[in-house]
A = this chain, B = another copy of it.
Amino acid sequence: MASSSGAMQTDVFQMGPGTLSISRADLHRPIQAKVRERCRKLLPEAQHGVMLLKGGGPFNLYSTDMEGIFRQESYFHYLFGVEDEDFYGALDLRDGRTMLFMPRLTEAYAVWMGEIKGPKFYQQLYSVDAVHYADELASVLKSLRPPALHMLHGKNTDSGTTTEEASFKGIEDFSIERDTAFAALTESRVIKTPEELRIMQYANDIASAAHVEVMRKCRPQRMEYHMESTFLGSCYAEGGCRHAPYTPICASGPNCAVLHYGHAGAPNNREIQNGDMMLQDMGCEYYSYDSDITCSFPACGRFTEDQKMVYNAVLDAHISVIAAMEPGVSWPDMHMLAERCILSGLKAAGVVTGDIEEMLEKRIGALFMPHGLGHMLGIDTHDVGGYGPGLPERIDKPGLRSLRTARVLEPGMVITVEPGCYFNPCLLQPALKNAEQAPFLVKERVLSLMDFGGVRLEDDVIVTETGSQSMTNVPRSVRDVEAVMAGAPWPRD
């Protein structure tokens, strides 16, 4: 358990009794083999050298003395699973040997941070072939005579931010190569291993149960942030999940239409009203692997007719997409399928009017679902590999341009399925005056729903060899939601 106890020197990560036990050897060794294999395919044999990554280090909030809780850099965590600061890690592409380079800590560390562990301890804990000190990087690497050091160099296609390359004194004596590591690691992260899926299933189980607790504790006159506090407390106490992978969105009423509600400027601080819809988009993180789940439900526990109508339109999209997902299917096609379902529901209820295909063509769906259908999920909530060389390009049309990937599905991908339908005055008011769009909108119905907010239903779904499988387990049908909020057991057994 606690590496701090000093007693256990195995390679196991586990937060506490009842939480998931992870063998680092079982998780990271197959990943290292997979990444090595990809690199070897990308490089001529004579250039097979040593991949060198830099782990994360402490960071301060602005100029203050406040350090956030350390979180490992994602690529480094993926390859090595190190939870300590200021490490380097190397993978020799020739023989597959792994090495870590740890900081040389001063005596003060022992007083403030805990007993100083040596290379032998970390070699066992992180299940690598050798551990040296970071100040030995140049000499150890030189002794390996690699034709090149393969450095991580690339840009995240969601944030636009560039990775930080490893650097050390004496680096100028090596040949540096930057085209392989990022491509190989990124593509490897897109396809999850069975052990990665096991962790993500755990993060889904914990977050699913926490969502059920939130549904049961929701009451008008409570504050939105009480939902956040309930969720976070449940994930941590029950699952040992210390971090939320993203800012919890605990919207009520009209706030449900604001896609990233919950940020510092709108910090889940509205009082919940009777008659509100609730939209709760929250996930948890275990061993840096994320879940990302959205539930929508009526604050009082019983749906109104309008709430049922919008909810069922989104649920139809949710179910239809998951049913249609399989290897070979294009993700933008799934986005369009979701739009079709939602528009059909709205049409049946007299909110929109006209030909569905024409609405799709005119991007009427994006007025109600301005975001993408879903994104890849893994160590990052918006996981890497969405766009890149040789992959389908971003489609520059409303709604579709927000897709974080336009890829064709492959077995082992994990992607969120999160169709939504919102009544956002910023989009719908102009549309009601737009000659192209207005004819499809039934004005009085749209106006009557302008304060509705919105509904989003989000599962985390694995693409399997033959179809798809959701890892999320929360009540979804109107009947189940109402029953669980009234106290019925969940899961139903």
Contact = CB atoms under 8 A, between A and B. Distances in A.
A41 interface: no
A223 B64 contact: no
A83 B265 CA distance: 6
A237 B226 contact: yes
A113 B265 contact: yes
A228 B232 CA distance: 11
A177 B29 CA distance: 56
A164 interface: yes
Contacts of A71: 61, 264
A449 B184 CA distance: 53
Contact of A107 (B230, B261, B380, B426): B426
Question: Residue among A72, A264, A266 with the most chain B CB within 10 A?
Answer: A264
B264 A85 contact: yes
Interface string A226-249: 101110110011001010011100
B111 A424 contact: yes
B67 A247 contact: yes
A240 B261 contact: no
Given A225-B236, A269-B2, A259 B112 contact: yes
A143 interface: no
Contacts of A15: 223, 225, 267, 269
A161 B111 CA distance: 23
Given A225-B16, A232-B232, A233-B233, A113 B258 contact: yes
6 contacts: A4-B266, A16-B223, A56-B62, A67-B247, A113-B265, A228-B242
> 7 smallest A-B Cβ distances: which pairs?
A65-B158, A233-B233, A70-B264, A110-B426, A229-B236, A65-B382, A4-B266
